[in-house]
Structure 1
């Protein structure tokens, strides 16, 4: 239950603002299996897609398997493949443009807290002309610890100057919801990549939505 109109909305990016996670899944699966020789299924890759790219590589191959330079090269190659495949499909999740405008008009501060690198965040924000809405953008390069650590969201709230308990997080992944819970923030979940049942461990969820046209979101403005 939402207690009062929040002062800030903090958004994950991929799967939350744009419905692109299957494209990330395909790009990672191709890199991991065809390029790097991992024996990992498409579904298992999906489960591993949280946190920084380095975190994913270390979960699959072990810490120290790749040098920092190799990790950077693999990461950029993966993002180039993702962007090449997704660009012609690039669009906001339905209703988000109107929702951002409504939040702006209501005086609610907006931020992004994403495990994506700036290369991908810029790809979305600049192609869809969204940058002006956000007073804070926290990327993988801006934090020491990625989700489920709360740092991507707490840092965004700190930049906005908004107490954590007055923020609402928008997420699509269980580990992102866990990060919000660890920050003491309530969460709205987009069911773009995971079912509602996959979030049963968390107690900070105020709504599940398929997109931003859901009338339940109007409760955030009361």
Structure 2
């Protein structure tokens, strides 16, 4: 086994829910805040902290910190209300978590989601015990593509960054892992392979966790690109 730790992004990586996040933001930005953005424009802003998204769209001085916090929580409430009936792990991930735990591989979640949202997922799916550390947007000063999320997760596990494999679905997350010195396995729930061409730390691409390449992570000392 080449990796001592698996670091998982959450949304779009462990659960296929990014469309629900986009829908919630589309509602907040256009219906509540009259931003006048298209679906694709909203989708293009779907990375980093909620507050960072609001700053990208409206500028740094449009909302107070308290207003941004209120909007952030409201967005997550709308997302959770829409998604709760569909909440489930991406196929095969339940087996990956069990096999990694049985193999003694440490695991962490490193997400730009707020704690409120991470708790919604891990507790409703009853998977918290698999993770030795969880790093949320509330735990870092700078979100992805800054490497702080993944560096902090590795530190909490006591594992060298080069011994960590990151599971990600977004180019900004892959960039964060690259800057942290970590390899990445990309799951293509939201983005196509071509969008990751600039990142040399990508070892492969999967559509879900039932693909054979995932099994090789437990048996191959040096995984190669799929």
Category of TM-score, reference length = shorter chain: over 0.9
Secondary structure of 1:137's counterpart equals strand
Find the counterpart in structure 2 of residue 172 from structure 1. Answer: 169
Partner Cα separation in structure 1 for residue 165 and residue 41 of structure 2: 29
Partner Cα separation in structure 2 for residue 172 and residue 10 of structure 1: 12
Which of 99, 103, 108 is the aligned partner of 1:102?
99
Partner Cα separation in structure 2 for residue 160 and residue 137 of structure 1: 10
Give the total of aligned pairs.
Answer: 219
Alpha-carbon distance, 1:198 to partner: 1.1
| 1:63 and 2:67 are equivalent in the alignment | no
Alpha-carbon distance, 1:192 to partner: 0.4
Find the counterpart in structure 1 of residue 137 from structure 2. Answer: 140
Under a length normalisation based on structure 1, what TM-score does the superposition of the two structures give?
0.97
Query: After superposition, where does 1:3-82 map in structure 2 within 5 Å?
Result: 5-82=2-79
Query: After superposition, where does 1:120-139 map in structure 2 within 5 Å?
Result: 120-139=117-136
Secondary structure of 1:169's counterpart equals strand
Partner Cα separation in structure 2 for residue 170 and residue 10 of structure 1: 6
Higher mean C-alpha deviation, range 41-50 or range 152-161: 41-50
Instruction: Spell out, residue by residue over 1:71-97, the C-alpha distance to the aligned partner (whole angstroms, 9 max, x if none).
Output: 011001100000000000000000000
Alpha-carbon distance, 1:201 to partner: 1.3
Secondary structure of 2:10's counterpart equals coil
Under a length normalisation based on structure 2, what TM-score does the superposition of the two structures give?
0.96
Alpha-carbon distance, 1:219 to partner: 2.0
Find the counterpart in structure 2 of residue 199 from structure 1. Answer: 196
Find the counterpart in structure 1 of residue 87 from structure 2. Answer: 90
Alpha-carbon distance, 1:200 to partner: 1.2
Partner Cα separation in structure 2 for residue 68 and residue 176 of structure 1: 25
User: What's the RMSD between the two structures over aligned residues?
Assistant: 0.7
Alpha-carbon distance, 1:221 to partner: 1.2
Alpha-carbon distance, 1:186 to partner: 0.2
Alpha-carbon distance, 1:64 to partner: 1.4
Secondary structure of 1:59's counterpart equals helix
Partner Cα separation in structure 1 for residue 129 and residue 144 of structure 2: 25
Unpaired runs of at least 5, structure 2: 220-226
Unpaired runs of at least 5, structure 1: none
Which of 210, 213, 222 is the aligned partner of 1:213?
210
Alpha-carbon distance, 1:47 to partner: 1.2
